[in-house]
Structure 1
Amino acid sequence: MRIGIPKEVKVREGRVALIPPAVNELIRQGHEAYVQSGAGVASGYSDEDYLRVGAQIMPDAVSLYERAQMLLKVKEPVAEEYKLLRPDHILFSYLHLAANPALARVLKDKGLTAVAFETVESGGKLPLLVPMSDIAGRLSIHIGTTLLHGYEGGRGILLGGMPSAERGHVVILGAGAAGGNAAVVAAALGARVTVFSPKRAELERMHALGPNVTALPSYASLIAETVYRADLLIGAVLIPGAKAPKLVTAEMVRKMKPGSVIIDISVDQGGCIETIHPTDYEHPTYTVDGVIHFGVTNMPGAVPRTASQALSTVLAPYVSRLATEGGVNDPAIAAGVNVAHGRFVHPAVAAALAQ
């Protein structure tokens, strides 16, 4: 199969879907690999690195899309790329269609096959989502720590506190890959951490992080009682393929302390906090009722080399499976198919877009 890797065009998105060694493996299997010039530069991989492993470098997006049968992207296509898509393309990428009906309609009308990284499922797990969720969870604490600085408009509080000063309070909604990693970093910094999850096993794992971590079930009343005491509120809720449920209302945000910070990792699925909306790394924050909101939809793009290496490791085997004849029927990949033959075929995506 002719596999194409375009250069990402989303604002400050430096990741690349596959790094050179992974591309080499596909070529060794008999596939052809086409990489748009400059696609790997922000992650530290030059065109020459790809040439050395047998890839062909395409000068621009137009020639890349024309040549490729399968398109490997990190982030979903944006408006300038819509015209390059064809009915015979297989698009393999993060898509988050439940929160992006405009893109969903484009893909449906094009008639192509769209497979979303975030809904590929194997053994009840989401193998292509987990590494980026791990990174986003860790970054949420790094970013939140900075936004709490006084010069950023934050409360001027050090999350770990000092012997003569209070600790910051981090409240995390969700204890999966993203929320769990956020809790690990926040706890290690010495913050006071409260984590909510509906799953007993996750609560046990969070409780075991240390005496500064409280793990609670996701009851609406408990969340409401806790949110207003947060210095840093992290949203990390996921229902595969579906829009995230709203766990924090605008009224709850109004009760939060001025200068506190909200980071909603689930914003690319619509967000679990009512006042969140998507932002980008050029304009990452805005303020509502004195509370700083961070809604960047491609958080791991801030660490493109780390993120590209982590993504490439898990992605390459699935690309190989999808590139074989009948690969779209592989059970794990079939679960990831969101659009095919002009229809929304993933149940959660179809339900979200029918609303």
Structure 2
Amino acid sequence: MIIGCVKEIKSNENRVGLTPDSVSAYVKAGHTVLIEKGAGLGSGFKDSDYKKQGAKLVETAADVWKQSEMIVKVKEPIKVEYKYFRKGLILYTYLHLAAVKPLVLALIKSGVSAFAYETIKDETGLPCLKPMSEVAGKLSILEGARFLYKNNGGNGLLISGVTGVNPAKVTIIGGGVVGRAALSNAYGLGADVTLLDINEDTLTKLKSQYPNIKTFKSNEENLIESLKDADIVVSGVLLPGAKAPKLIKRSYYKQMKKGAVIVDVAIDQGGSTEVSKPTTHAEPVFVVDGIIHYCVANMPGIVPKTSTIALNHATLKFGLELANKGAEKAIKESEALKAGLNIYQGKITYKQVAEAFDLEYTTL
């Protein structure tokens, strides 16, 4: 199969779909790999690194799209890339379709087979989502702490506190991969951490691992109470492939501290506050009712080398399976890839995406 990898063009996105090591694996499996010139520079990979591993360098993204049978990306295609879609093409990337109706319609119209990293599911959970969720969770605390600084509009607190001065209060919603990664960083920095989750076993395990945290069952009453004193709020709620629930109501802001920071890691799936809207690393925040909202839709893009390597460790296995078998055989033989297929030959095959826009769902 001819595998293509293009430079990411979303704002401040420096990750790349394939590392040179991944190129080597595809080439050794008998495939041809096309890399757009300069695609890996943002992640620290030179064109010569790819060439050494057997890749063919291509001048333009248009030529890569045109010549490839499978495109491996990081982020969902943006509007200027829709023109490259065509019937029979395999698209293998993060898609987050429940938040982007125009992309859904463009994929349906074109007949692309679209596999989403975030819905590939195996016995370990969501293996291709996990590494970026971990990066985003760790970053959520670092970025939240940055926007507590007075010069960034925050309330002037140092997250760790100092002798005689209390640390910042951090509320984490959700004890999944994002929440645990955020907890690890916040706890390590000495923050005063409260964590909410719907699963009591999760709360028990995390309390045992991090004895100084406060834990509460996630419900409206406990959420409102936990938000009142929070300086940083990290929302890591996830309904795989579906729109994120709007857990944080605007009405709650009246009882929150002015200058508090909400880091909405769920923004890829539409966000978990009533006012959330995607932002970029160039302009990461906006303020509503005195509350700072950080809603960057590609958080790991700011640490592209770490993120790209971690992502490839997870995605290579399934990408090779797709390339070796082709889309049809792969979904027949792999439950993981079957779960990852969101749109196939003009039909929505992932129920939550169809439900998000009241469109027709077709079973495989």
Match of 1:75 in 2: 75
* 1:241-256 matched pairs, under 5 angstroms: 241-256=241-256
After superposition, give the CA deviation of every residue in 1:243-290 in whole Å (9 maximum; x if it has no partner). Answer: 011111001123211111010000010111112111011111110111
- Answer yes or no: is the 8 Å Cα contact 1:227–1:233 preserved in 2: yes
- Answer yes or no: is the 8 Å Cα contact 1:206–1:214 preserved in 2: no
What amino acid sits opposite 1:276 in the alignment? S
Match of 2:335 in 1: 331
Match of 2:349 in 1: 345
What amino acid sits opposite 1:332 in the alignment? A
Give the whole-Å Cα distance in 2 for the aligned partners of 1:25 and 1:168: 46
Equivalenced residues, count: 355
Give the whole-Å Cα distance in 1 for the aligned partners of 2:211 and 2:156: 24
Q: Out of 343-352 and 88-97, give the one that drifted further.
A: 343-352
Give the whole-Å Cα distance in 2 for the aligned partners of 1:314 and 1:28: 18
What amino acid sits opposite 2:21 in the alignment? P
**How many percent of aligned residue pairs carry the same amino acid?**
38
Query: How big is the shift at 1:210?
Result: 2.8
Give the whole-Å Cα distance in 1 for the aligned partners of 2:254 and 2:276: 13
After superposition, give the CA deviation of every residue in 1:176-196 in whole Å (9 maximum; x if it has no partner). Answer: 111110011101111110111
Match of 1:119 in 2: 119
Runs of 5+ consecutive residues of structure 2 not aligned to the other structure: 360-364
* 1:108-187 matched pairs, under 5 angstroms: 108-123=108-123, 125-187=125-187
* 1:263-302 matched pairs, under 5 angstroms: 263-302=263-302
Give the whole-Å Cα distance in 2 for the aligned partners of 1:228 and 1:288: 16
For normalisation by structure 2, the TM-score amounts to 0.96
Give the whole-Å Cα distance in 2 for the aligned partners of 1:304 and 1:208: 33
Q: Secondary structure at the match of 1:248?
A: coil
Give the whole-Å Cα distance in 2 for the aligned partners of 1:213 and 1:159: 15
Give the whole-Å Cα distance in 2 for the aligned partners of 1:333 and 1:40: 26
Query: How big is the shift at 1:199?
Result: 1.5
Give the whole-Å Cα distance in 1 for the aligned partners of 2:72 and 2:331: 15
Query: How big is the shift at 1:353?
Result: 2.0
Matching of residue 215 in structure 1 with residue 215 in structure 2? yes
Give the whole-Å Cα distance in 1 for the aligned partners of 2:175 and 2:61: 39
Query: Which aligned runs of 4 or more in structure 1 are off by greater than 2 angstroms?
Result: 208-212
Give the whole-Å Cα distance in 2 for the aligned partners of 1:103 and 1:95: 9
- Answer yes or no: is the 8 Å Cα contact 1:171–1:194 preserved in 2: yes
For normalisation by structure 1, the TM-score amounts to 0.98
Q: Secondary structure at the match of 1:208?
A: helix
Query: How big is the shift at 1:89?
Result: 0.6
Match of 1:24 in 2: 24
Q: Secondary structure at the match of 2:286?
A: strand
CA RMSD of aligned residues (A): 1.1
Q: Secondary structure at the match of 1:324?
A: helix
What amino acid sits opposite 1:260 in the alignment? A
Give the whole-Å Cα distance in 2 for the aligned partners of 1:193 and 1:78: 37
Match of 2:362 in 1: none
- Answer yes or no: is the 8 Å Cα contact 1:117–1:336 preserved in 2: yes
Give the whole-Å Cα distance in 1 for the aligned partners of 2:86 and 2:342: 16
Q: Secondary structure at the match of 2:84?
A: coil
What amino acid sits opposite 2:346 in the alignment? G
Give the whole-Å Cα distance in 2 for the aligned partners of 1:108 and 1:208: 47
- Answer yes or no: is the 8 Å Cα contact 1:261–1:293 preserved in 2: yes
Runs of 5+ consecutive residues of structure 1 not aligned to the other structure: none
After superposition, give the CA deviation of every residue in 1:202-224 in whole Å (9 maximum; x if it has no partner). Answer: 21232124333112111111101
Give the whole-Å Cα distance in 2 for the aligned partners of 1:74 and 1:328: 21
Residue 95 to residue 185, structure 1, CA distance change in 2 (3 Å) = same
Give the whole-Å Cα distance in 2 for the aligned partners of 1:62 and 1:22: 22
Give the whole-Å Cα distance in 2 for the aligned partners of 1:16 and 1:27: 18
Give the whole-Å Cα distance in 1 for the aligned partners of 2:81 and 2:186: 39
Match of 1:315 in 2: 315
Give the whole-Å Cα distance in 1 for the aligned partners of 2:358 and 2:225: 34
Q: Secondary structure at the match of 1:83?
A: helix
Give the whole-Å Cα distance in 2 for the aligned partners of 1:332 and 1:211: 36
- Answer yes or no: is the 8 Å Cα contact 1:150–1:156 preserved in 2: yes
